[in-house]
Amino acid sequence: MSTVLKVLAGLVVLIVAAVVVVVLNLDKGIKTAVETLGPKYTQAEVTLNKVDLSLKSGKGTLSGLVVGNPVGFKTGQAFSLGEISVQVDTSTVTKPVIVIQQIRIMAPEMTYESGKNGSNIDQLQKNVTAAAGSSHNATDSATEVEGEGVKLIIKDLLVSGGKIHYSNALLGDKTIDVALPEIRLTDIGEKSGGATSAEVVKEVLAAINKKAGSAIANSPAIDDLKKQLQSQLKEKADKVVGDKLKGLFNRE
């Protein structure tokens, strides 16, 4: 899977995780749940500006969801979302399989920062995986216990208007911006009669790899990104060679 594809997959997976938290806390303080459980799983600051959800209709919107970066990264945040709209089948909320009719993710923006030991997105995913594994042994969180046996079906998931901001030490304070193609996934967990959170993640990754891979790989923005990086590398290399030559001829 290409780097950009991994970024997109990471974005969708993290968003789905946030929506799962919302669904499992329909009758509780959603904003508090997201801002409390988010940092626990990501090891980064998570803030949610506004939640507007009707328990009766199952329709709702989440605005201003921002996930910061793990320790060791310099960019301001990993991703931010303009708005997420959710439609939950409320008749299934108390059942073993919760049906989410649709998830609409509008104008997501992700900053992919490449570091010496991997990217910020890689680290976030590692943090989430580690936290999810340890949560099986935790007994002090009622929310986690309640969610252990829950399965999900996501009928329709749409990501549109997204952007990636690529950051690398070679670029200095600049970023390279890449527009994301529209991504649509349907019937996640449908065939199996419901999917666990881990199975949702696996299915989302597989679907993105199949449906979005060629679109991203063929994007003109990717060629632009490669050219800009090659240019930056050449400039750095020329400078290093120039400095060494100066040092050679300036020797007494």
d(CA 91, CA 202) in angstroms, rounded, equals 26
| pLDDT score at 147 | 46
pLDDT confidence of residue 101: 95
CA separation for the pair 12, 158 (Å, rounded): 10
C-alpha span between 9 and 122 (Å, rounded): 11
In degrees rounded to 5, what are phi and psi of residue 54?
-100, 115
pTM over 0.75: no
Per-residue confidence (pLDDT) for residue 99, from 0 to 100: 93
Query: Is residue 158 a contact partner of residue 211, using CB atoms and an 8 Å limit?
Result: no
- Each residue's pLDDT, cut to its tens digit, for the chain (252 residues) gives 555 566 666 666 666 666 666 666 665 577 787 788 778 878 899 898 888 878 788 888 888 889 899 999 999 898 888 888 989 998 988 888 989 999 898 888 888 888 888 888 888 878 877 776 665 454 344 344 344 467 889 999 888 888 888 887 777 787 778 777 788 889 988 988 998 776 776 676 566 555 555 555 565 666 776 777 777 777 766 666 556 555 555 555
**Three-state SS for 19?**
helix
Supply the Cα-derived Rg of the chain in whole angstroms: 21
pLDDT score recorded for residue 39: 86
- Token pair of 226, please? 């490669």
Residue type for position 35: E
- The answer to whether 31 and 52 have CB atoms below 8 angstroms apart is no
